Structure 1
Amino acid sequence: MTVHFPFQNSYSALPDSFFARVAPTPVAAPRLIKLNRPLAVQLGLDPDMLETPEGAEILAGKTVPDGADPIAMAYAGHQFGQFVPQLGDGRAILLGEVIDRDGVRRDIQLKGSGPTPFSRRGDGRAALGPVLREYIVSEAMYALGIPTTRSLAAVVTGEHVIRETALPGAVLTRVAASHIRVGTFQFFAVRRDTDAIRRLADHVIARHYPELLGTERPYHALLAGVVARQAELVARWLLVGFIHGVMNTDNSSISGETIDYGPCAFMDAYNPAQVFSSIDEMGRYAYANQPRIALWNLTRLAECLLPLFGEEQEKVVEQAQDILGAFPETFSKAYQAGLRKKVGLFTERDGDEALIQDLLDAMAKNQADFTLTFRRLGDAAGDPAADDARAEFMDPAAFDEWARRWRERLAAEPQSAAERQTAMNAVNPLFIPRNHRVEAVIQAAVNDDNYALFEELVKVLAKPYEDQPDYAAYADPPLPDQRVLQTFCGT
C-alpha cells in the first residue's frame, strides 16, 4: 500500500509564465521528526502511511507522489522597501492542491526541497532551526485562532547545509489556503502583462473570494476584500504581541493568512518599537509599524490592479484610494474591539480607548510582560484581591492608579466577576512561543538530535488559553540571561 494524496491542482493549469516546473531534489536519508496527525486527517491523508519510511521520503522530497505537479511559483516583491522584479520560490516547491474535509482547497508545499530556477545562486535548502521555528510558531498561531499557514510535517534530510557553519538540513511541509502574494501580482505588473494580472485576479476571486463572482466590479471588490482581511489579520497580530519581522510584499498573502515565518517573534516586555529581526536594522517592521506597513503593501497591490479598474487613470486612482482608505477604520475597529475584550469590557463607552492606551503606556514605561499582564488582569477581574498583574510593573503604583479607574469602569458592565474572568481568559493566552523556549528547542535538536523539548513545547502551545499546571513554567518570561535579542531568517 502506498501513500495517496488526492491532488486536484489548479494553479499549475495557469500559463507557464506563472511558475517553473521543477521536481524536488532527492535527499540522502530522510527521517520524520514530527507529523501533524490531526492536520493530515483534515487534508484527507492517511497519517499512519505518512509515518512510514515511504511517507518520510515524500515529505522530504525524495519521492514525488502520484498526482503531484511540482512547481516553483513566480513572484516579485518589495524587500525592505526596495523592489526586486524577480524573486519566486527559491527553496520551496508546491507539490499540488487537495480539497480538505471542509471543502477548502489547500496547497501542500515542501520548503527546503532544493534549488529552483528562482534560487538566485542559493542551495534551495533549509536548516533544521528555521524549520522547527516555523512549525512551532505557525501551529501556535493556529491554536491562538489567527489565520495562518500550517505545518504538516518536519523531516531531517540526513544532509548538512552550509550557512555560517554546517547545520543539519530539514524540510518543512507547509499547508496554505494558497501561496499567492502581493508580490505575485507585482511580478506581472512590472512586466505590463495585464492579461496575466486579470488571469491571476480571476483565479484569486474563484479560490478565495467566490462571493465576488458575477459582481459588477469584481476587481474593485477583490482589493476591498484583501484590504479587510489584512487589516483584521494585523490587528490580531498586535493583540497577541506578535512581530512578523519581514513584512515584504512577497510575504503578504492575498488569502489573508500569516505566511513566511522567518525572524518572527512574540514580545516579552511590551515595547511598541520592539524589533527582533537581525536584518531589520532600521526598525521598518517593528511591532507598532505593522499596520502602516500592511497598508503600504496593499497600496502596491492596488497599483497592480489599476489596469483592471478602467482606462481613466485619474478616476481609477481615486477609486483605489477610496478602497485603501477603509484600512485604518477596519484595523482600528478590530484592534480596539480586541483590546476591550482583553481588559474585560464588553460594551463600548466614551473614554475606553484612552483608558486602555493608558494601560499600554504604563506597561511600556514599566517593562511589563505583554502576555502575562493581560492574562493576570483576568485574575484581578475575577478576584479584586489578586495582585499578580500588579507584580508585572516595576512601579506597582502605576498599575494601582490605572486599576482604580479600570474597576470603576468594570462596575458599569453587566457581567459577573466569574463571567468576566472566563471571557478574558478566552482571549488572553497564558502560553505563547517564548523566544527563549524556541531557541532552547532548536539548540537541543541541532546539537544533540534531541526533540523532547520540541514535542513538549508543541503540546503546550496547542492549548494556549488553558491553565496547564504541569507546564506552568512555560508561561514564564525569560530570565535576564535567557533573553533573545535577535532572531534570524535562516535563508
Structure 2
Amino acid sequence: MNFPFDNSYARLPEEFFSPAKPAGVAAPRLLLFNEALADQLGIERDGATDDELAQVFSGQRLVEGSQPLAQAYAGHQFGQFVPQLGDGRAILLGEVVNRQGRRFDLQLKGAGRTLFSRGGDGLAPIGPVLREFLVSEAMYALGVPTTRALAAVATGATVERERPLPGAILTRVAASHLRIGTVQLFAARGNRQALNTLVEYTLQRHYPDHPIDPTPAMTLLQAVCEQQARLVARWMALGFIHGVMNTDNMTLSGETIDYGPCAFMDQYDPQTRFSSIDHGGRYAYGNQPIIAQWNLARLAEALLPTETKPNASLEQAKAIIEQFMPRYEQLWLEAFNAKLGLAEVIEGDRQRLEHLHTLMQAGTADFTQTFRGLARWLQTEELAALPAGLQQQPELPAWLADWQQRLTRQGRTSTAVAQAMNRVNPYVIPRNHKVEAVLTAAEQGNLTPFKQMLAAVRRPYEEGPEQAEFSTPAPLTERVYQTFCGT
C-alpha cells in the first residue's frame, strides 16, 4: 500500500504534539472501508486484502511515511476552561496530499492511550465508531462541510463502559484537526511564539488566498468566523444538533467534527437537545448560533496576544465578532428560503419563515417531512401531503396562500419550484431511532442493517424503496431522547 504522506504538522515545534503509538490489537477485523474516499485521497491499495487493510487501519502496520502523534489543545467544555486536553483517544497517522494538491489528516480514533488521555482508556466502543461513520457520511452527502470516515475496524477486544461492548477503531479524514482549543492552549501558556507559528501555519494550510487585512491574527479570525457562520447555518437548515459544541470541537477549517451525542431533530422545537451530558440545554438546537459566536469570541481572546497594537486589535476583534450574527442570519435566511423554493431574500421573508416555525412547533410537526411535504402540496394542494399536526393549525391555509403568492412573483411553475425544493430538502436523514437500531444490531454482530442505512443516507434526496424504510419519524414507542459520547 502507498499513502502520499507529507506530514507538515509533525514539522511544527514539539509543544504542538506528543509522539504516540497505536495500541496493540490482537484480532483486527475490517468492518467498513470507504473505497471512493480512498481514491479521492490518492491511496494506492494494490489489491490489498481486508486483513491487510485491517492491519493498517488499526495501527498495527504503519505505512511508510506515517509519523503517529497526538495533538495538543485546550478548550472550554460546557463553558469551563480546561487548560490542557489533547488527543486522549486519537492518533494522527499523518497527512496525505492527493492528486489535486489538497491536504488531509488521517487519524485513528480509539487507538489507545496517549500522553493526553487523562485517566481514560483511549479506546472506543463499536457504537460511537459506527455512529460517526454513518452521520459524517450522511453530512457529506447533504453538502455539509465535515470530517469523513475512511475505515472502521473491529479490535476483538472488549471496552468497558456502562456495560461491556465490542471495541473498534475509526479512521477519520479531515482537512485538519486544528481547533479553537489549539489556539487557546498556547494563549493560556503565554507562548506568543507558538501562537504566531500556529496562525501562520493555519493561514497557509486553510486560507492561503485570503487577503491579509490588516494582521495575520485578525485575518484568521475573520476567515474562521465566515466559515463557522456558513457551517452553523447549514446545520440549522437540516435540523442537525451537534450536541457538544465545546471550543475543542470547533475546527479552524470550518468542518463539522466529533459526532458524539449528535442527532437530527424530528419534531420542530428550538429547545430540542439529546446529549446525555447537556443537562442545561446549553447546546440545544436553537442555541447553536449563539454558542458559535461565544466560541469565536474565545478564539478572538486567544489570538489577541499575537498583536503588536493590542488596543486597536481589540476593537477590530470586537467588530469581527459582532458581525458574526448578522452574517449568520443572512446565510440562515438564504438557506431556509431555498428550502421554501425562494431564490432570493426580500422584505417579509423572515416573518413568513418565523410564522411557519411557529406553526410547526404548535403542531409538533416533523422538521424534515414538513419541507418535503410543502413541495408535494405545491403540486397537489392536498393538506394530506403535510404532517398531521401541521394540517390542523388554523392559520395554515393563510400561510400557504401567502407563500404561494410569494412564489408566483418568481415566475416559475409549481413543478419547477417543487423540484428545486427537493434538491435541498432531504428525504432521508439519519433518524435517531433508526441509528440506534442499526448500532444495536452491529453490537450483536449483524452489520447488514447498518450497511443498508449507510447506503440510504448517502443518497438523501432520492425517493425509492431502499430509502423509504429510513424516511419516517419514530413512533412514540421508539423515540430516542438521549445520545451518548462513548468516552
Structure 2-normalised TM-score? 0.97
Q: Is the 8 A contact 2:384 2:391 kept in 1?
A: no
The corresponding residue for 1:251 is 249
Q: Deviation string for 1:231-282 (max 9, x for gaps)?
A: 1100000000000000000000000000011000000000100010000000
The corresponding residue for 2:108 is 110
Provide the C-alpha distance between the structure 1 equivalents of 2:99 and 2:384, rounded to a whole number of angstroms: 46
Q: Is the 8 A contact 1:347 1:413 kept in 2?
A: no
Q: What is the deviation of 1:400?
A: 2.4
For residue 389 of structure 1, what is the amino acid of its counterpart? L
The corresponding residue for 1:46 is 44
The corresponding residue for 1:296 is 294
**Pair 1:34-2:32 in alignment:** yes
Q: What is the deviation of 1:5?
A: 1.4
For residue 410 of structure 1, what is the amino acid of its counterpart? L
Q: What is the deviation of 1:408?
A: 2.0
The corresponding residue for 1:127 is 125
The corresponding residue for 1:419 is 416
For residue 441 of structure 1, what is the amino acid of its counterpart? V
Distance 1:360 1:126, change over 3 A: same
**Pair 1:453-2:449 in alignment:** yes
Q: Deviation string for 1:85-130 (max 9, x for gaps)?
A: 0100000000000012332100000000000000011110000000
Structure 2: runs of 5+ lacking an equivalent = none
The corresponding residue for 2:380 is 383
The corresponding residue for 2:407 is 410
The corresponding residue for 2:475 is 479
What aligned pairs does 1:221-370 form with structure 2 within 5 A after superposition?
221-311=219-309, 313-370=310-367
Provide the C-alpha distance between the structure 2 equivalents of 1:93 and 1:85, rounded to a whole number of angstroms: 20
**Pair 1:467-2:463 in alignment:** yes
User: Aligned to 1:147, which of 136, 145, 148?
Assistant: 145
Provide the C-alpha distance between the structure 2 equivalents of 1:78 and 1:216, rounded to a whole number of angstroms: 28
Provide the C-alpha distance between the structure 2 equivalents of 1:61 and 1:166, rounded to a whole number of angstroms: 23
For residue 464 of structure 2, what is the amino acid of its counterpart? Q
Q: What is the deviation of 1:216?
A: 4.7
Q: Is the 8 A contact 2:177 2:251 kept in 1?
A: yes
Distance 1:361 1:47, change over 3 A: farther
Q: Is the 8 A contact 2:19 2:69 kept in 1?
A: yes
For residue 414 of structure 1, what is the amino acid of its counterpart? G
Provide the C-alpha distance between the structure 2 equivalents of 1:463 and 1:430, rounded to a whole number of angstroms: 9
Distance 1:15 1:268, change over 3 A: same
Distance 1:48 1:473, change over 3 A: farther
**Pair 1:187-2:201 in alignment:** no
Q: What is the deviation of 1:469?
A: 3.0
Provide the C-alpha distance between the structure 2 equivalents of 1:432 and 1:467, rounded to a whole number of angstroms: 12
User: Aligned to 1:138, which of 136, 158, 166?
Assistant: 136
Secondary structure class of the residue paired with 1:387: helix
Structure 1: runs of 5+ lacking an equivalent = none
Alignment coverage as a number of residue pairs: 487
Provide the C-alpha distance between the structure 1 equivalents of 2:280 and 2:433, rounded to a whole number of angstroms: 24
Secondary structure class of the residue paired with 1:358: helix
Q: What is the deviation of 1:457?
A: 0.4
The corresponding residue for 1:4 is 2
Q: What is the deviation of 1:436?
A: 0.5
Distance 1:219 1:162, change over 3 A: same
The corresponding residue for 2:91 is 93
Provide the C-alpha distance between the structure 1 equivalents of 2:378 and 2:181, rounded to a whole number of angstroms: 45
Q: What is the deviation of 1:52?
A: 2.8
Secondary structure class of the residue paired with 2:235: helix
Q: Which moved more, 1:314-323 or 1:385-394?
A: 385-394
For residue 19 of structure 1, what is the amino acid of its counterpart? F
